[in-house]
Chains A and B, each alone.
Chain A
Amino acid sequence: MSLRTWVRTLWGLAAVLNGAALAMIFFYAPVEIQMGAVQKIFYYHVPSAIAGYVLLFLAFLFSILYLWKDDPSYDLLAYTTAEVGFVFITVVLVTGPIWGRSAWGKWWVWEPRLTSALILWLMYSAYFLLRLFSRHEARAARIAAVVAIIAFFDVPIVHKAIEWWGSIVHPKKVVLEPPMRQTFFVAMIAVFTLAAALTLTRFMVGKAEERRQAQREATP
């Protein structure tokens, strides 16, 4: 199966699964007693965070491979996974305050998890700025790879922040009722399928850009 067919199949699956997940969130999952309907943001907020972590981990791995092997394919893979991971972390940072405003009465609280997540987002912003504004592509790719490796070390800090420093707003453990658990499971698969579809699409666009660049350089 070609990459294009894979991408199309994944987009079809992502559409069906996300439709099913949204239907379950709005019509099947019960309303949480304490927080009310807003708690349903959880079903995309948490899977987006996990998908973001996985993609940033892949960016970390591909960056190491790029520095080690000096193969531009690894650089494209690192850039692709970092970019899509950044989109998912943005979803987390936008939906969190909306949920927080309703549940805690505040848009933002300077507590360990939120602060470390914001630092993570800012570090990857630096990664993209570096790539966008550098004139020396190969050198920028190497420096960006180092930034992606260093930035990834914030991911376990974000994940463990509550355990290490406590939190006034985030619970240490979440217990879900069976219908909530089933909805969360479907939402998780839907978000991961969407992440895979976006990553492969972004990779294809990157490959097309590389081909175009090579053609431009070959043309006298």
Chain B
Amino acid sequence: MTAALGLLQEVAIKTPDTTGYLRMGYAAIGAIFAAYLLFLWMRARSEK
């Protein structure tokens, strides 16, 4: 248990804290484009 916690702590220290913001940024980009594509798809469907 102590070894596992130690390992986690080591990984957490080694992982730059900016990685979380990087993931957040690309998740936001994906969400915006996915939302717009869904909007286009719904409009196209309503015209069929």
Which residues of A approach B to under 8 Å, CB–CB? 22, 31, 35-41, 44-45, 48, 87, 90-91, 94-95, 98-99, 101-103, 194, 198, 201-202, 204-205, 208-209, 212
Shortest Cβ distance from A18 into B: residue: B33
Nearest CB on A from B43, distance (A): 5
Nearest CB on B from A8, distance (A): 14
Residues 7-26 of chain B, each 1 if its beta carbon lies under 8 Å from chain A, else 0: 00000000011110110111
Q: Which residues of B contact A205 (CB under 8 A)?
A: 40, 43-44, 47
Assuming the contacts A98-B24, A102-B18, A102-B21, asked whether A208 and B29 have C-beta atoms less than 8 A apart, the reply is no
27 contacting pairs across A/B (C-beta < 8 A):
A22-B26, A31-B16, A35-B18, A36-B19, A37-B18, A37-B22, A38-B18, A39-B18, A44-B25, A44-B29, A48-B29, A87-B32, A87-B33, A91-B28, A91-B33, A94-B32, A95-B25, A98-B24, A98-B25, A98-B28, A99-B21, A101-B21, A102-B22, A103-B18, A201-B40, A202-B40, A205-B40
Nearest CB on A from B22, distance (A): 5
Say yes or no: B28 contacts A198, CB within 8 Å.
Answer: no
Per DSSP, chain A at the interface is helix
Considering residues A22, A45, A91, A103, which has the most beta carbons from chain B within 10 angstroms of its beta carbon? A91
Q: How far is the CA of A118 from the CA of B17 in the complex (A)?
A: 28
Say which size band chain B's interface belongs to.
Answer: 10 to 19
Q: Which residues of B contact A202 (CB under 8 A)?
A: 40
The one of B19, B25, B26, B36 in contact with A87, judged by C-beta atoms closer than 8 angstroms, is B36
Q: Which residues of B contact A44 (CB under 8 A)?
A: 25-26, 29
Q: Which residues of B contact A37 (CB under 8 A)?
A: 16, 18-19, 21-22
Say yes or no: B44 contacts A208, CB within 8 Å.
Answer: yes
Say yes or no: A208 contacts B47, CB within 8 Å.
Answer: yes
Q: Which residues of A contact B16 (CB under 8 A)?
A: 31, 36-37
Shortest Cβ distance from A40 into B: residue: B22
Nearest CB on B from A206, distance (A): 9
Considering residues A37, A90, A208, A209, which has the most beta carbons from chain B within 10 angstroms of its beta carbon? A37
Nearest CB on B from A184, distance (A): 16
Assuming the contacts A44-B29, A201-B40, asked whether A209 and B22 have C-beta atoms less than 8 A apart, the reply is no
